[in-house]
Amino acid sequence: MVGAVELELRDDVYRRPLSTALQRLGLAEGWTCVDVGAGGGDVSVALAQMVGRDGRVYAVDVDPGRRDEIAALASAHAQVLALSQAGEDLTLPESVDLAFCRFLLMHVAEPRRVLRRMAGAVKAGGWVVAQEPITTAGRIGGRPLSMEGARDQDLGSVLPALVGEAGLVLVDAWAEAPAGAGPGPVAGYLEAMTGVDPGEEPVVLPPLVTVVARRPV
């Protein structure tokens, strides 16, 4: 389970690309969204804050305990429905305005299938936003980072192509990498997630590739 400190750190260092993506598609009160692979919960909470009481957020995760904890956090801001599902099997009771995932596709066996399920979950003209890292582009003191256990630690490098293969229209794509040197949010995030204390060495976290795509009308 991602703890409260780790949640706060991720929310801090990767908040800007999330906020930029949501602003570019005009997310507003009353929208219906799904956070696929809700993980640490920071995205579900951010979505809930923006859609308000007239909106709905589906928090989807394979871990029921994590899912329920996320739903409890987000329900302070919006209607939240918690579902235990894998992204490959995403099924919702209604079509939504936005389907979102972050740090998910790098861990699944069939990322294209997940994106197709997300595309099928949104309304015609609805939005799909995905954010995935290029892990080996990150650096500690100039040395490449790696992530054990990821199926494709550099999935972000092919993410723009994958959304097209899922039948979506790519509207925008960019990459952003938090960086720092010495104690601070970037070093704290790295240590919380990997157990590695970079000390005074400069750190560039893995660039996070964001794609903003739309289901054809």
Q: What is the pLDDT of residue 1?
A: 35
Q: Are 117 and 90 in contact (CB under 8 A)?
A: yes
Q: What is the pLDDT of residue 2?
A: 43
Distance CA 211, CA 161 (A): 10
Q: What is the pLDDT of residue 11?
A: 59
**Strands 202-204 and 122-133, sheet pairing:** unpaired
Domains of the chain are 4-133+154-174+208-214 (3.40.50.150)
The angle subtended at Cα 209 by Cα 62 and Cα 55, nearest 5°, is 55
Q: Are 35 and 22 in contact (CB under 8 A)?
A: no
Q: How far apart are the first and last CA of the chain?
A: 39
Residue 30 burial (CB count, 10 A): 12
Distance CA 66, CA 63 (A): 5
CA 169 to chain centre: 19
User: Two tokens at 206?
Assistant: 């893995």
Distance CA 16, CA 149 (A): 26
DSSP 27: -
Q: What is the pLDDT of residue 123?
A: 98
Binning the chain into helix, strand and coil, the percentages to the nearest 5 are: 40, 30, 35
Distance CA 130, CA 18 (A): 10
The pLDDT profile of the chain, 217 residues, written as one tens digit per residue, is 344 444 554 557 888 888 899 988 899 999 999 999 987 677 888 898 899 999 999 999 888 777 677 777 777 777 888 888 999 999 999 999 999 999 999 999 999 999 999 999 999 999 999 999 999 999 999 999 998 889 999 999 999 999 999 999 999 999 999 999 999 989 988 888 888 899 999 999 999 999 999 999 9
Q: What is the pLDDT of residue 13?
A: 86
> Angle, nearest 10°, between helix axes 42-51 and 4-13?
70
Distance CA 138, CA 110 (A): 24
